[in-house]
Amino acid sequence: MHQEVAMKVVIIGGVAGGATAATRLRRLDEHAEIVMLDKGLHVSFSNCSLPFRLSGAVDATDKLVMMTPQAFAARYAIDARTMSEATAIDRAAHTVHVRNLADGSEYDESYDKLILSPGAAAVIPPIDGIDGADVFPVKTVVDVDRLHTFLTSRGARRVSVVGGGFIGVEVAVNLAEAGYQVSLVEAAPQILATFDHDMVQILHKAMVDHGVDLIVGDQVSRFDGDDMTLASGRVVGGDAVVMAVGIRPNTAIAAAAGLDVTDRGLIRTDADYRTADPDIYAIGDAIEVTNALTGRPMALQLAGPAQKQARQVADHICGRTVRNTGYLGSNCIRVFDWNAAGTGLTAAQCEREGLRYDYAYVIPQDKVSLMPDASPLHLKLIFEVPTGRVLGAQAIGKGDAVKRMDVVATAIKFGATVDDLRDLELCYAPPFSNAKDPVNMAALVAGNLLDGDFRQVHVDQARGLVESGATIIDVRDPTAFQAGHLKGAVNIPLAQLRDRLDEVPRDRTVYLNCMTSQTSYTAIRLLQGHGFTNVVNMAGSMLGISLYEWFTDRTTGREPIVTGYCG
Amino acid sequence: MHQEVAMKVVIIGGVAGGATAATRLRRLDEHAEIVMLDKGLHVSFSNCSLPFRLSGAVDATDKLVMMTPQAFAARYAIDARTMSEATAIDRAAHTVHVRNLADGSEYDESYDKLILSPGAAAVIPPIDGIDGADVFPVKTVVDVDRLHTFLTSRGARRVSVVGGGFIGVEVAVNLAEAGYQVSLVEAAPQILATFDHDMVQILHKAMVDHGVDLIVGDQVSRFDGDDMTLASGRVVGGDAVVMAVGIRPNTAIAAAAGLDVTDRGLIRTDADYRTADPDIYAIGDAIEVTNALTGRPMALQLAGPAQKQARQVADHICGRTVRNTGYLGSNCIRVFDWNAAGTGLTAAQCEREGLRYDYAYVIPQDKVSLMPDASPLHLKLIFEVPTGRVLGAQAIGKGDAVKRMDVVATAIKFGATVDDLRDLELCYAPPFSNAKDPVNMAALVAGNLLDGDFRQVHVDQARGLVESGATIIDVRDPTAFQAGHLKGAVNIPLAQLRDRLDEVPRDRTVYLNCMTSQTSYTAIRLLQGHGFTNVVNMAGSMLGISLYEWFTDRTTGREPIVTGYCG
């Protein structure tokens, strides 16, 4: 018989972090009393899967609920209570005040240890006329069920999505796949801030290619029913509005209890996710975490980190020490037939952090080009100058972009340099990769840059070069050149270059391009071998530049810098 | 004008390693004279893609040739000579003796630096009657063209493949996909020695499921035409025979020149891939490399390492130093709709090396189980005891097995422990993974094992336990139990276990199982919390054990230990 007095742990919030903490606690301590409170109708649902209900990929709403309170009780002896809102914490008394939303009753629940995993709520901004619109957040099973039921029962055809973060984009994609006519409005100049402005243009095009009316750099100023008038004056008609402009941490009771909460509403914790009160832990979307690369605090609303924190807290409560190694923010998203992933810092973040950095942008095939489904993989590898330390990466392609970012995320955890990435020995067979994986390839280019083997300009510099009449030599074969090239570029195929050296100016900077900048790199080395010190590679070349330019050309009607888009 | 005397480099072998060395050399030195000799009809073909010609995935043989001698000349000023066999090296004179196989002429080619990238030849064993059979190796474009032409022109229907290594299996798979009736004969008890015996059973079943007549532990003793009689007496009929039993390094001229060649015919090199002669380098399938984990020499016939060696040699010749960090042997293969990958040491290798090791075997879903194409991923993670250093891993599934092995391969390069793998922050969205990636999951189990949180037996121990009447408790729900369970197992669902503790014996070892060993682990922790010290988890449980047993049951007719196979 077990004789000790059992420990009692109360957990506020029963989704990703809360449910993980509860079950790990049970596995570590069969005798602890574990109470899990959630104000919603469900605990333990797959919040990341909510958007997939809208396309039918998840074909029934109740499948989104992974464990019922009954299952928590039977399998884990966990007292999971839904519709149970924690309204206050009495730290001195070690109690949580709970309101039963089903019957209105209230009570105090005592705890030895308290875990706050309250998550965050969708922000519904006070826009003119919003009360008259059919506005839906997508944060809970109830939310997505309401939206799905509304759309199907009303025969809605047009849905406006406001906000281009992960949830907004996933909702837009899934609704478009279900046949709805979708508009997506994002106030920033781009969707998905985890991707740099250059890379995300590929996804902008993917959205448009699949029928989404994508509007960036604009915002809703007024609703008339479900129609929206934007700041630009543009009117976007719709039958329903999904609001995904952001989330607000549910940390009011933490603040009211005198715990340390930041201006952004995030709870501050120590390395073991303990708040200022040693008997109260906090995890998940509601806390501030440490960026593993910069050492600085950051918000991070991702399920993987929440689960790691949950496990670490359960371990700590049970006397086990786990090292908190910080977070990279590794992330991924499917945008129709494109896969996109990133890890570590973006170039934009490096800029804001004042880091000295550069990046390689390569576009190799994701597998042996002979394979029927081979496709270009756009990979941006960001590294510190002059150390070569890997700071981050982004990959977008129809093939396995996520794999490459998982590899980089793994390497970054060990403080990898680009030379380390070059040396990685990754799995290769023609259906899966190339003998040089795209990660190796990007690292080779990065190493060449660090070695000073060549200089480059980036895709976002191409327009300025074309418009200023810079000397651009395209080294592809004439047929490829004819199909589309940078305006003003001169065609000297690589195979003719040694015989036509006298056509390459020596008195001004000469920019070399091709399809993906790999052949132009060879041309650069060739020319340098003949004494040219004035040659610069155009990273990304026609494929990268075409994709970079396409969406803005299309939406602004500006003059294209290419005679024909590639890719 | 360039005034120095240009360096002259001769390369023997113009496929993976040779062609890479040649082009890297050119990029580093525009003025070097580069001569690349190959005795075959082609240089620079995709040898890894050869089997894919047979299914039609590669729809024309000439697509396998990536660069012609003309293209090497025009783009890289490389003198690539096909049908040019190097027959001797005169180290003192710094010349290679070359025979032109097209016209029979012979000449000496001088070099400053010589790179040996001769590859290896298919072994055609002297089996009785082999001269009367239609025997095809698959090592070159000419080989696969001959085979493809033979099969299609003769209307062949049945093909026998001898040898179950990568080439043999890929040929068998591609031929089966093309509609041929394929038999595969392997002398060892399993195909693909890079996978452990437990894991490879999944691929054995995949082969049979897709109609391949797979015969292991048997070998050809006689040919009668294209029919084979095996050592067991079994006769395998066929219209053609693919011989893929092994390869022999083409190192006779290296040995004849007095370079250091091992008993297995592999050239020994220093860390920069220089042979005993400082002006002669050697790379690719023909050399011995260093295992990064054991520090011991090994053979490694993989394209990725060959390309790395090629680049390093070119760099070294041009005065750049690159560190040789050894090799893991990361590998992957598609076997019909299954993807399989591995890196580092197998458990069998650990055993041979006398290492103290253990392994976790987990079978999580490869992505969120709600996604329509989610499927189990079988992942074996091998680690050193008691350090937790990761020694190797294997993954097999219909989903992204390769990604997970790339992650482990990356981690191993940094000397990772299982705790490092646990902490990895990999990309997560429902179409790509779970919040805990299978790699994290395997690492958590491995950590629990190292912490002594529970004990386990492996899938290859299940039969002994069942046959000896061990006490096995299956903690799944009754419907799952009824569909198939270990013979003699008792069913106590996890949800009832706390109420039925008195049914669990305390006087003997009790083995817990379920579908994938995750629920049984929870049961183990529950029972340990109630003082049971006699409980052991069955790693892999019903899904792992079913797949482990299926092929041998089927081919030997032995009594199954399960009442119904799962998975």
C-beta separation of B65 from B108 below 8 A = no
Taking an 8 Å cut-off on Cβ atoms, the answer to whether B332 and A368 are in contact is no
Look up residue B431 and give its amino acid: P
Separation in Å, CA of B478 to nearest CA in chain A: 15
Question: Which chain A residues are within 8 Å of B16, Cβ to Cβ?
Answer: 435
C-beta separation of B409 from B343 below 8 A = yes
Q: Report the mean per-residue pLDDT for chain B.
A: 96
Equal CATH topology for A8-120+248-317 and A337-453: yes
Question: Which chain A residues are within 8 Å of B419, Cβ to Cβ?
Answer: 323
Q: Which of A16, A425, A495 lies at the smallest CB-CB distance from B74?
A: A495
> pLDDT tens for residues B114-143?
999 999 999 999 999 999 999 999 999 999
Rounded to whole angstroms, the Cα distance separating B367 from A363 reads 27
Mean per-residue pLDDT, B93-106: 97
Q: Supply the angle between the helices A303-317 and A16-28 in degrees, to the nearest 10.
A: 30
Residue A203 tokens, joined:
């996804």
Mean per-residue pLDDT, B91-120: 97
Question: Does CATH place domain A8-120+248-317 in 3.50.50.60?
Answer: yes
SS3 of B233, please? coil
Degrees (nearest 5) of the Cα angle A434, A435, A440? 85
Domain B130-245 maps to which CATH number in 3.10.20.30, 1.10.10.10, 3.50.50.60, 1.10.443.10?
3.50.50.60
Rounded to whole angstroms, the Cα distance separating B20 from A59 reads 50
> pLDDT tens for residues B423-444?
999 999 999 999 999 999 999 9
Domain B337-452 maps to which CATH number in 3.40.50.2000, 3.50.50.60, 3.40.50.1820, 3.30.750.24?
3.50.50.60
Question: Which chain B residues are within 8 Å of A433, Cβ to Cβ?
Answer: 332, 402
Look up residue A528 and give its amino acid: Q
pLDDT band per the 50, 70, 90 thresholds, residue B1:
very low
Q: What is the dihedral of CA B560, B562, B564, B567, to 10 degrees?
A: -100
pLDDT for residue B281 is more than 90: yes
Interface test with A, best of B331, B427, B520 (most A CBs within 10 A): B427
Mean per-residue pLDDT, B295-311: 95
Rounded to whole angstroms, the Cα distance separating A292 from B331 reads 31
Mean per-residue pLDDT, A520-538: 98
pLDDT of residue A567: 74
Rounded to whole angstroms, the Cα distance separating A86 from A37 reads 7
Rounded to whole angstroms, the Cα distance separating B259 from B255 reads 5
Closest CA to B11 of B92, B80, B76: B80
Taking an 8 Å cut-off on Cβ atoms, the answer to whether B307 and A403 are in contact is no
Rounded to whole angstroms, the Cα distance separating B54 from B175 reads 6
Between strands A471-474 and A455-457, the pairing is: unpaired
> pLDDT tens for residues B37-52?
999 999 999 999 999 9
- What DSSP letter does each residue of B162-231 carry, written as one string? E--SHHHHHHHHHHHHTT-EEEEEESSSSS-TTS-HHHHHHHHHHHHHTT-EEEES--EEEEETTEEEET
pLDDT for residue A202 is more than 60: yes
Degrees (nearest 5) of the Cα angle A250, A251, A255? 160
> pLDDT tens for residues A361-407?
999 999 999 999 999 999 999 999 999 999 999 999 999 999 999 99
pLDDT of residue A4: 66
Question: Which chain A residues are within 8 Å of B405, Cβ to Cβ?
Answer: 427
Taking an 8 Å cut-off on Cβ atoms, the answer to whether B400 and A405 are in contact is no
Beta carbons within 8 Å of B100's beta carbon, 6+ residues apart: B83, B84, B106, B107
Taking an 8 Å cut-off on Cβ atoms, the answer to whether B403 and A400 are in contact is yes
Closest CA to B241 of B119, B120, B127: B127
Taking an 8 Å cut-off on Cβ atoms, the answer to whether A522 and B75 are in contact is yes
Separation in Å, CA of B326 to nearest CA in chain A: 9
Residue A39 tokens, joined:
């104000």
C-beta separation of A262 from A290 below 8 A = no
Q: Report the mean per-residue pLDDT for chain A.
A: 97
Half-sphere exposure of A37 (CA within 13 A, CB side): 26
C-beta separation of A491 from A478 below 8 A = yes
pLDDT of residue B4: 66
pLDDT for residue B165 is more than 80: yes
Mean per-residue pLDDT, B406-414: 98
Where does residue B145 fall: left (phi above 0), alpha (psi -120 to 50 degrees), or beta otherwise? alpha
Taking an 8 Å cut-off on Cβ atoms, the answer to whether B406 and A402 are in contact is no
- Cβ density class A83-115: b for 16+ within 10 Å, e for less: ebbbeebeeeebbbbbbbeeeeeeeebebebbb
Closest CA to A373 of A325, A414, A337: A337
Closest CA to B157 of B206, B205, B213: B213
Q: In a 10 Å sphere around its CB, with 0-12 CB exposed, 13-18 middle and 19+ buried, how is residue B91 labelled?
A: middle
Interface test with B, best of A298, A318, A425 (most B CBs within 10 A): A425
Closest CA to B311 of A523, A429, A441: A441
Taking an 8 Å cut-off on Cβ atoms, the answer to whether B333 and A429 are in contact is yes
Beta carbons within 8 Å of A42's beta carbon, 6+ residues apart: A14, A65, A82, A140, A141, A142
> pLDDT tens for residues A142-191?
999 999 999 999 999 999 999 999 999 999 999 999 999 999 999 999 99
pLDDT of residue A1: 44
Rounded to whole angstroms, the Cα distance separating A61 from B479 reads 24
Question: Which chain B residues are within 8 Å of A402, Cβ to Cβ?
Answer: 400, 403, 427, 432-433
C-beta separation of B50 from B25 below 8 A = no
pLDDT for residue A469 is more than 80: yes
Q: If you measure CA to CA, which chain B residue comes closest to A28?
A: B525
pLDDT of residue A16: 86
Quickly list H helices, B46-116: 50-55, 69-76
Give Dmax over CA atoms of chain B in angstroms: 93
Interface test with A, best of B406, B453, B528 (most A CBs within 10 A): B406
Rounded to whole angstroms, the Cα distance separating B42 from B14 reads 8
Half-sphere exposure of A414 (CA within 13 A, CB side): 26
Homologous superfamily in CATH for domain A456-556: Rhodanese-like domain (3.40.250.10)
Residue B102 tokens, joined:
């097209």
Beta carbons within 8 Å of B450's beta carbon, 6+ residues apart: B383, B385, B386, B388, B418
Domain residue limits, chain B = 8-120+248-317, 130-245, 337-452, 456-556
Taking an 8 Å cut-off on Cβ atoms, the answer to whether A330 and B427 are in contact is yes
pLDDT for residue A3 is more than 70: no
Residue A119 tokens, joined:
């998550």
Question: Does CATH place domain A337-453 in 3.30.300.30?
Answer: no
